[in-house]
């Protein structure tokens, strides 16, 4: 009965907060039964008396019967009994809460930066997320079916965490408030621009080396990806236009796969040329707002943008060239495109000079104006 109801109300959890001592799921179900019991306790007399003592139509009036309108024992009972239950709920909630605040032992620390509208983890070896995936993607039948539909209009980053190891996220925002929410881990924490916040949990199950245990709807693991068990990550604090697009996938990996991911992601530019590096930067940091297929979004599209006189919000126009692109990345508010709001955070200090050249190369490529310099191998590490 309990398992059946739990299956309806909660998705299977995958952290110690959902499955370990003083867990959220247990308390959730305890409160659920408490609520069901109290609701029945209140509703049965209400419906029964409302039916039993209703003033019947036609059959003459039924008068009320004199009853006491005060009873100390009864009234004290219905204050004290709920109070006792409240004490239990409070204590259980407190114990579970502290487990999400204080890391257990030697935790894997992952720094996480949030900004409008993307997540950027930073691992111990300097790696960020090196993998983007579709969400809710639908494909034509077959092994490598073609994409026919997907959530929203961009890709979402994969945030890797190791199985059965305490992980601690230390989080900061670059602009407004966000909130890091992983429903299957049963925790969220707000992220602020002026201080660090943290949360911690122990991921439980990577679904084996092949990671064939997706919980995040239809996130397809393509060949070559490092597998794991996937969970949705959402931004839970309202942060503007693309708040609902600020999602990610948390992938619980076996420790060996996790190490492999960090190694690969730590050297993502290896063997890539400038334009290819630009594409990687775009997928990681720019894709929520800038399309590469010509469609309008929060920011202007990059397709066929290069080398054109571009109208500015303050009037006049500017040549879309290397200098304009660099300025738009480092000081976005300086010269806004006509018809677009001032929404972009500055990427000063976030991108190296070479990465900026990569972005420039990528925009050139999207406009069919690739130069030889764009094909030069990127100086990796």
> Is 151 an interacting residue with respect to other proteins (CB under 8 A)?
yes
Contact flags string 117-136 toward other proteins, x per CB under 8 A: ------------------xx
Q: Supply the minimum distance, in Å, between the C-beta of residue 62 and other proteins.
A: 6
- Judged by CB under 8 A, the residue of 5, 98, 210, 319 near other proteins is 98
Tell me which stretch binds other proteins (CB under 8 A): 221-229, 230-238, 273-281, 311-319.
230-238
Q: What is the dihedral sign for C-alpha 311, 355, 379, 362?
A: negative
Q: Nearer to other proteins by C-beta: 268 or 289?
A: 289
Q: Supply the minimum distance, in Å, between the C-beta of residue 87 and other proteins.
A: 8
> Is 59 an interacting residue with respect to other proteins (CB under 8 A)?
no
> Is 322 an interacting residue with respect to other proteins (CB under 8 A)?
no
DSSP-based three-state secondary structure for 314? coil
CA nearest to 250, candidates 346, 365, 169:
169
> Is 27 an interacting residue with respect to other proteins (CB under 8 A)?
yes
> Is 295 an interacting residue with respect to other proteins (CB under 8 A)?
yes
Distance of CA 232 to the CA centre of its chain: 6
DSSP-based three-state secondary structure for 105? coil
> Is 241 an interacting residue with respect to other proteins (CB under 8 A)?
yes
Distance between CA atoms of 6 and 86, rounded to whole angstroms?
Answer: 21
- Judged by CB under 8 A, the residue of 1, 59, 73, 148 near other proteins is 148
H helices of 67-106, in order, are 72-99
> Is 79 an interacting residue with respect to other proteins (CB under 8 A)?
yes
Q: Supply the minimum distance, in Å, between the C-beta of residue 160 and other proteins.
A: 20
In which element (H, E) is residue 18 found?
A: helix 16-19
> Is 82 an interacting residue with respect to other proteins (CB under 8 A)?
yes
CA nearest to 173, candidates 237, 232, 227:
237
> Is 49 an interacting residue with respect to other proteins (CB under 8 A)?
yes
Question: What secondary structure letter does DSSP report for 267?
Answer: T
Q: Token pair of 189, please?
A: 């924490």
> Is 331 an interacting residue with respect to other proteins (CB under 8 A)?
no
Q: Supply the minimum distance, in Å, between the C-beta of residue 68 and other proteins.
A: 5
Backbone angles phi, psi at 79, to 5 degrees: -95, -45
Contact flags string 177-196 toward other proteins, x per CB under 8 A: x-x-x-xx-xxxxx-xxx--
> Is 175 an interacting residue with respect to other proteins (CB under 8 A)?
yes
> Is 1 an interacting residue with respect to other proteins (CB under 8 A)?
no
> Is 293 an interacting residue with respect to other proteins (CB under 8 A)?
yes
Q: Nearer to other proteins by C-beta: 234 or 264?
A: 234
* Number of residues in contact with other proteins under rule CB under 8 A: 106
- Judged by CB under 8 A, the residue of 244, 256, 338, 352 near other proteins is 244
Q: Which residues have CB under 8 Å from 59's CB, separation 6+?
A: none
First CA to last CA distance, the chain? 57
Distance between CA atoms of 159 and 226, rounded to whole angstroms?
Answer: 12
Q: Which residues have CB under 8 Å from 175's CB, separation 6+?
A: 115, 116, 193, 239, 345
> Is 68 an interacting residue with respect to other proteins (CB under 8 A)?
yes
> Is 315 an interacting residue with respect to other proteins (CB under 8 A)?
no
Query: For 12, how many CA atoms within 13 A lie in the half-sphere containing its CB?
Result: 11
> Is 292 an interacting residue with respect to other proteins (CB under 8 A)?
no
DSSP-based three-state secondary structure for 259? helix
Tell me which stretch binds other proteins (CB under 8 A): 55-63, 120-128, 260-268, 310-318.
55-63
Question: What secondary structure letter does DSSP report for 312?
Answer: B
Q: Supply the minimum distance, in Å, between the C-beta of residue 216 and other proteins.
A: 8
Question: What secondary structure letter does DSSP report for 281?
Answer: H
């Amino acid at each position: 009965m309990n398992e059946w109801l739990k299956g309806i109300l909660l998705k299977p959890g995958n952290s110690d907060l959902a499955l370990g001592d003083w867990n959220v799921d247990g308390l959730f179900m305890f409160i659920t039964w408490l609520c069901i019991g109290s609701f029945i306790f209140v509703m049965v007399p209400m419906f029964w008396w409302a039916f039993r003592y209703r003033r019947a139509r036609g059959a003459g009036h039924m008068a009320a019967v004199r009853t006491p309108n005060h009873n100390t024992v009864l009234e004290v009972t219905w204050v004290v009994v709920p109070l006792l239950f409240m004490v239990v709920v409070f204590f259980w909630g407190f114990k579970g809460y502290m487990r999400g605040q204080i890391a257990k032992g030697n935790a894997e620390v992952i720094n996480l930066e949030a900004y409008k509208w993307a997540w950027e983890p930073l691992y111990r070896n300097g790696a960020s997320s090196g993998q983007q995936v579709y969400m809710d993607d639908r494909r034509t039948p077959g092994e490598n079916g073609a994409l026919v539909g997907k959530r929203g209009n961009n890709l979402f980053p994969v945030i890797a965490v190791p199985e059965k190891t305490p992980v601690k996220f230390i989080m900061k925002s670059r602009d407004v408030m966000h909130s890091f929410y992983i429903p299957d881990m049963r925790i969220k924490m707000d992220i602020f621009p002026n201080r660090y916040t943290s949360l911690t949990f122990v991921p439980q199950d990577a679904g084996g080396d092949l990671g064939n245990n997706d919980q995040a709807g239809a996130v397809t693991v393509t060949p070559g990806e490092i597998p794991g068990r996937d969970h949705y990550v959402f931004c839970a604090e309202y942060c503007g236009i693309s708040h609902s697009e600020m999602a990610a996938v948390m992938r619980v990996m076996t420790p060996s796969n996790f190490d492999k991911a960090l190694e690969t992601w730590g050297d993502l530019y290896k063997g890539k040329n400038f334009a290819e590096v630009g594409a990687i930067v775009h997928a990681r940091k720019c894709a929520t707002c800038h399309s590469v297929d010509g469609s309008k979004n929060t920011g202007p599209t990059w397709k066929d943008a290069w080398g054109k006189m571009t109208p500015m919000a303050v009037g006049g126009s500017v040549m879309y060239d290397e200098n304009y692109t660099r300025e738009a990345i480092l000081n976005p508010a300086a010269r806004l495109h006509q018809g677009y709001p001032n929404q972009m955070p500055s990427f000063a200090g976030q991108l190296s000079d070479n990465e900026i050249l990569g972005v420039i190369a990528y925009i050139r490529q999207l406009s069919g104006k690739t130069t030889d310099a764009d094909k030069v191998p990127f100086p990796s590490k």
